[in-house]
Structure 1
Amino acid sequence: MFGLLITGVFFIGVVGGQQNASDASLSSAQGYEGSKVFSSVIANDRIYHDFLELRSQRKIAFLNDLMREKTSTLYFLVLQEDVVMVGERLQALGIPFYVVEEDLQSLLARENGGPQMFSNGLLEDGPFDLISYPSYAQILKHIDFYVKDPLRGKHVSKFIIGESYQGRPIVGVRFNRGHSEDKAVIFFECGIHPREWISITTCAWMIHEFSSNAAKYRDILDVYEVRIVPSANPDGYEYTKTHRFWRGNLRPSEKNPRCKGVDINRNFDVGEFCGPGTSQDPCNEEYCGDSPFSEPESHALKNAILVVQDRLHYYISLHAYGQLWMYPHSYTTEDAKDHERFHRKASAGARAIREMSGKNYTVGPIAQTLYAVTGSSVDWAYEHGARNAFVIELPPTQAEARGAMGFIVMPDKIQSIAQSTFHGIRAMIKSD
């Protein structure tokens, strides 16, 4: 159930709260006490544009993607200081809305309850524990452990594709049994949207498995070189320590000094730049940037793709959430020339996950399944050498997520999601 339908104003005390001019307060508040998640049915274009106006005023933040349907449910977050105003505004517009999550801060505390979640203590060498969300410094420490461990490191190496805006190395892990430089490549890009923590830990799980149980995956590692970038936006990921729902990088805007952050997955040079599904407003969380590849993070991924473009058989971008297995194009609803192969392979992966976990994934082209967006990494990779390119939106479904729970995945779910996702990926690869 969504909760109570609100028919009047909120009888909630309002106190001053911290706000910064990113797209919606959601992305910028350091604390979420008194903040709430709501839902509303987008029954027509007028209602949709009313919500867009509230978002442009940074009074609400969208927590889900609206599917390509006539009627979709929007989940949105309102900070404590804006709860009364937003309630009164929606009531005046005649838009029904529901309380979905009364106490977001409590929900975040439960998510953060995993062992050593973003610990400030000593960074110890060792494998990923896979029952918590590590900081980026911890991720790098764990990677070094796998690379240096004589029992694991023979086929494992580290590579750096570039630096983030704040100077953090964007690190990847390479798995190459036999050390052949001619193998086809599978490239995993994870965490390009840093609030999607489960995508990062799913890739951490794969790093652990390929490092520790290589013989178990000979069907992949004997045929392919695997490259995994577990956190493609490390500045943003670190920022989610205190700004849990941050989506972009951290480069300050030259157009508006109050704002910062570019959506890296809207900054690739594919389709009309800053076209559908993006924003030219530097305070919007889907801001496309000043120009294609203006961001060091997208530029680093571009170079990483070009290094292997002649051998790139799979480019797989992990996101959350929605249980979707999608493929090009993002920027047009026209079918890609490889549409039939993409659909067959994505269907094989989705079927394997359903048989293992009972979870159903929707399969289809990105623009036809969600909506059109320009500047995505998957489209650019496909048009620059990748034989196959996929976006996998991890669990839960939008209906199950009810907004915040799409991004807030409890630590005890990490391993089951990672295992079933990789089971599907493995089945997709075997479908060649």
Structure 2
Amino acid sequence: LKQANIPTNELPSTLPKDDRDVVICQFKMSFRVVLWQPVSAENIMKNKEVHFYVNVSDINDVKAELNRSTIPYKVLMDDVQGVIKKQTVNDTVSPRSSASYYEQYHSLNEIYSWMEEITEMNADLLQKIYIGSSFEKRPLYILKVQTPKSAIWIDCGIHAREWIAPAFCLWFIGHTTHFREKDRTMTRLLQHLDFYIMPVMNVDGYEYTWTTVRLIYWTDLKAYFSKCKGASHNDCHEIYCGPYPESEPEVKAVAHFLQKHKDHIKAYITIHSYSQMVLFPYSYTTNKSKDHDELLSVANKVVLAIRKTTQKMYESGPGAQTIYLAPGGSDDWAYDLGIKYSFTFELRDRGTHGFLLPPNLIKPTCIEALSGIKTIALHVINNI
């Protein structure tokens, strides 16, 4: 559905109490319901909240069904469309050189223009690298914050509707270019490390969320890194794993770049939302990785750094045990490629705004995420 056809929407939150709550799965068949948390009905568990988005035409019927099934619920947002309008109105209002620019969400075309401008202005520090094109033939770029040492990879925007992720990648580059001389930790890191930053990996899906449907999950690019270990083979399913590994050009481009530079890249970090978590391998199995203890120690330090920075509570642990079994995570893939320090950041919040995090929360979210990445980077330079 096009956004213009959805004047008012609600995001209810329900709490499954027992096995009869498969009614949520039935909702997906009977109503126009989009799951937010968890992403698929198969991962709904007892006593864990379920967040889902309801079309305005189905609100009363969904509430009636929840009441009939005696499932407790509350409405987290009662006008999703209004929130969406507020998030897109200031795309190009602020100059790209201003701090306020990084406290807004930006369209794909604006991000392309920003990349061109910031690399020209910081030619001594930044390099724009073309690594391929998307399914719809949009260019795929990474920005290299360059020094002649080992590197850390950070990608954002694997999932189209998670706008805070690309916002963080822009924030990271903006902070590095504008404030590196005042940030002693960043100055030290840049003496030892390259950073490869991919602001938007799923460029087609991200563009679609700006022009057509804001909340579409779109292609689950994380799943394409897998060999469908537990992912859906149904090409209409939200967690469809693809016809074969690296079937999509975006994934192939990233995978080939990482494979080519795997001995140079010492850490892989992928930015997502939402739930406030710092995850590490494995997600596709409950078995511990051989580096479990060290990765858990680093993740715990990240959580502590975030708490000291903004007082926000994040949870840490291996993906399968912290959230649920999920195949195809890019951090699992990177870890098995040989990049030991592989992490997934699930940024704010815990469900109050979900994928529609207000622009005024971009800054604190990015500040805390940056503190976490610095923690990982410091561990890397002390252990290479």
The answer to whether TM tops 0.5 is yes
Mapped partners of 2:158, 2:271: distance in 1: 8
Query: Taking structure 1 as reference, are residues 426 and 158 closer, same or farther at Cα in structure 2, changes over 3 Å only?
Result: same
User: Which of 270, 276, 280 is equivalent to 1:317?
Assistant: 270
- Deviation (angstroms), 1:379: 0.7
- Deviation (angstroms), 1:82: 2.2
Q: Residue 36 of structure 2 aligns to which amino acid in structure 1? A: L
Identity %: 28
- On the 8 A contact 1:127/1:208 being kept in 2, the answer is no
Alignment of 1:350-389 (within 5 A): 350-389=303-342
User: Which of 83, 89, 98 is equivalent to 2:59?
Assistant: 83
Mapped partners of 1:315, 1:185: distance in 2: 9
- Give the unaligned 5+ runs of structure 2: none
- Deviation (angstroms), 1:29: 5.2
What SS does the corresponding residue of 2:200 show, helix, strand or coil?
coil
Q: Residue 389 of structure 1 aligns to which amino acid in structure 2? A: S
Mapped partners of 1:413, 1:313: distance in 2: 30
Mapped partners of 2:64, 2:233: distance in 1: 29
- Deviation (angstroms), 1:391: 0.3
- Aligned-residue Cα RMSD (Å) equals 2.3
Q: TM-score of the superposition, structure 2-length normalised? A: 0.90
Matching residue of 1:174: 144
Matching residue of 2:169: 203
Query: Taking structure 1 as reference, are residues 334 and 68 closer, same or farther at Cα in structure 2, changes over 3 Å only?
Result: farther
- On the 8 A contact 1:114/1:131 being kept in 2, the answer is no
In the TM superposition, what whole-angstrom CA distance separates every residue of 1:354-390 from its partner, at most 9, and x where no partner exists?
A: 0111001101000100011111211111111212100
Matching residue of 2:160: 194
Matching residue of 2:88: 112
Mapped partners of 2:19, 2:28: distance in 1: 15
- Deviation (angstroms), 1:330: 0.9
Matching residue of 1:5: none
Q: Residue 320 of structure 1 aligns to which amino acid in structure 2? A: S
Matching residue of 1:13: none
In the TM superposition, what whole-angstrom CA distance separates every residue of 1:26-73 from its partner, at most 9, and x where no partner exists?
A: xx65543132111211112331x3212322456311122388964111
- On the 8 A contact 2:91/2:106 being kept in 1, the answer is no
Q: Could you tell which deviates more after superposition, 32-41 or 58-67?
A: 58-67
Greater helix content: 2
Matching residue of 1:230: 199
- Deviation (angstroms), 1:394: 0.6
- Say whether 1:97 aligns with 2:67: no
Q: Residue 71 of structure 1 aligns to which amino acid in structure 2? A: N
What SS does the corresponding residue of 1:42 show, helix, strand or coil?
coil
- On the 8 A contact 1:126/1:145 being kept in 2, the answer is no
Q: Residue 116 of structure 2 aligns to which amino acid in structure 1? A: D
Matching residue of 1:162: 132
Mapped partners of 1:101, 1:336: distance in 2: 39
User: Which of 347, 357, 368 is equivalent to 1:409?
Assistant: 357
Q: Could you tell which deviates more after superposition, 94-103 or 223-232?
A: 94-103
Q: Residue 59 of structure 2 aligns to which amino acid in structure 1? A: V
- On the 8 A contact 2:3/2:81 being kept in 1, the answer is no
Mapped partners of 2:4, 2:245: distance in 1: 30
What SS does the corresponding residue of 1:240 show, helix, strand or coil?
helix
Mapped partners of 1:40, 1:235: distance in 2: 32
Q: Residue 356 of structure 2 aligns to which amino acid in structure 1? A: I
Matching residue of 1:264: 221
Mapped partners of 1:361, 1:69: distance in 2: 21
- Give the unaligned 5+ runs of structure 1: 1-17, 19-27, 249-261
Q: TM-score of the superposition, structure 1-length normalised? A: 0.80
- Deviation (angstroms), 1:294: 1.1
Mapped partners of 1:169, 1:387: distance in 2: 29
Mapped partners of 1:161, 1:83: distance in 2: 44
What SS does the corresponding residue of 1:153 show, helix, strand or coil?
coil
Matching residue of 2:49: 73
Mapped partners of 1:85, 1:338: distance in 2: 49
